[in-house]
């Protein structure tokens, strides 16, 4: 069991370092991450409009006459997804279970992230002090905990456990 834990941790560390390196490359950031973040901002703006907010979205910025937020790296959920992906890739499971977990987990994290962005905009519009607290502390922790929680649920419900060798 100790060896399996070490293998998991090593694989996780390698995948997370490589994944973070890739997303920080200029071309990847400019052609993948920024357009993704702009789409996330657009969806969040649509939700805010459904909630009666008179907002405009331009690129990654959601603004109105009273407040604006610029959704940047660190607030787009990509880091939480990379943590989830690294954990699922490192965990012994079938390719099908990994792909399903990554897909469903990423969608769940981004739905939560839309809720995060919408709530932060509303907090900023109506109560700037709460915005600062929720932006820098509360939501950061919740998003990472959600990523870990999704991984734990996935390991329990969907990932196939490795078959133990009768001789070990």
pLDDT surpassing 80 at residue 164 = no
What does the domain layout of the chain look like in residue ranges? 2-157
CB 117 within 8 A of CB 51: no
With tokens 């690294």, the residue in question is 86
Residues 6+ apart with CB under 8 A from 106: 81, 84, 85
Q: Model pTM?
A: 0.89
> Which pLDDT score, from 0 to 100, does residue 166 have?
46
> Which pLDDT score, from 0 to 100, does residue 3 have?
83
CA dist., res. 135 & res. 130, Å (int): 8
Residues 6+ apart with CB under 8 A from 160: 92, 93, 94, 97
The pLDDT tens digits of the residues spanning 103-161 come to 999 999 999 999 999 999 999 999 998 999 999 899 999 999 999 999 999 999 877 65
> Which pLDDT score, from 0 to 100, does residue 4 have?
76
Q: Count of CB atoms within 10 A of residue 58's CB?
A: 13
With tokens 């941790």, the residue in question is 9
CA atoms within 13 Å, Cβ hemisphere of 157: 9
Residues 6+ apart with CB under 8 A from 112: 77, 142, 143, 146
The pLDDT tens digits of the residues spanning 91-111 come to 999 999 999 999 999 999 999
């Amino acid at each position: 069991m100790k060896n399996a834990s070490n293998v998991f941790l090593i694989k996780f560390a390698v995948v997370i370092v490589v994944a973070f390196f890739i997303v920080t490359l200029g071309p990847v950031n400019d052609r993948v991450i920024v357009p993704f973040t702009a789409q996330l901002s657009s969806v969040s703006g649509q939700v805010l409009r459904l909630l009666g907010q008179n907002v405009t979205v331009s690129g990654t910025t959601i603004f109105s006459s009273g407040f604006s937020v610029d959704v940047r790296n660190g607030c787009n959920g990509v880091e939480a997804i990379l943590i989830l992906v690294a954990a699922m890739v490192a965990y012994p499971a079938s390719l099908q279970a990994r792909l399903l977990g990554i897909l469903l987990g990423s969608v769940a994290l981004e739905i939560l992230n839309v809720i995060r962005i919408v709530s932060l905009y509303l907090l900023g519009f109506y109560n700037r002090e709460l915005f600062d607290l929720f932006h820098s502390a509360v939501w950061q922790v919740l998003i990472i905990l959600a990523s870990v929680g999704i991984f734990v649920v996935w390991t329990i419900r969907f990932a196939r456990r490795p078959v133990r060798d009768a001789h070990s």
